[in-house]
Amino acid sequence: MVSKVFGGQGGKAGMSMRILCVTAAIVLMSIPAVAQELPPGNGQALVMKNCTACHDLEGTVQLRKTREEWESIVIDMIGRGAPLFIEEVDPIIGYLAEVFGPKAPPIIDVNKAGKEDLVKLTGVTSQIADRLIAYRTANGPLTSLEQVRTVLGLQSETFDKIKAYLRVPRI
């Protein structure tokens, strides 16, 4: 599907397209964008590099889409001027489909989320979710990700995989 989109576009044409788009991206990069943490995975760096020039990713991380849907969004972005190399397209689609696919956890406000959402986070069992809710009830809102990690009782390695889905809004 993706290769068809690029059918007939040789390396040289692709390169000059990229130079054009890079120029556009540099102009747009002067617009300040809020840094968005992304879940780890192959393709994370490519998305940071290629998808933050025109808008931040706060809207993107809220979406849960199938591979086909992410593919059309990425193709749409190329149409809007995202300067992707052909070989970057598949890893980006694969990454988005993995970390923001239909089975990925939603973005979770750690001070409001119910148990049914908390347990969607990898490594968060029903018991762990109960612990967080009990802590919140007893001590009031959580104020930092590190505090969330401690209350959940997760190792950094496990927590690093889920922390991009967590929000600790300032109160």
Q: How far apart are CA 51 and CA 16, in angstroms?
A: 19
At closest approach, how far in Å is the CB of 108 from ligand HEC? 19
22, 48, 54, 145: residue in contact with ligand HEC (rule CB under 6 A): 54
53 binds ligand HEC (CB under 6 A): yes
Give the chain's count of helices (H) and strands (E): 10, 2
Q: How far apart are CA 87 and CA 74, in angstroms?
A: 13
Candidates 31-39, 53-61, 137-145, 155-163: pick the segment binding ligand HEC (CB under 6 A): 53-61
57-116 residues in contact with ligand HEC (CB under 6 A) are 59-60, 63, 73-74, 77, 80-82, 92
For residues 28-60, one letter each, b for 16 or more C-beta atoms within 10 angstroms of the residue's C-beta and e for the rest, the string is eeeeeeeebebbebebbebbeebbbbeeebeeb
Closer by beta carbon to ligand HEC, 89 or else 152 = 89
Diameter over CA atoms, the chain: 63
Binding mask 10-49 for ligand HEC (x = CB under 6 A): ---------------x------------------------
Expressed in angstroms, the distance from the first to the final Cα of the chain is 46
At closest approach, how far in Å is the CB of 83 from ligand HEC? 7
Residues that bind ligand HEC (CB under 6 A): 25, 50-51, 53-55, 59-60, 63, 73-74, 77, 80-82, 92
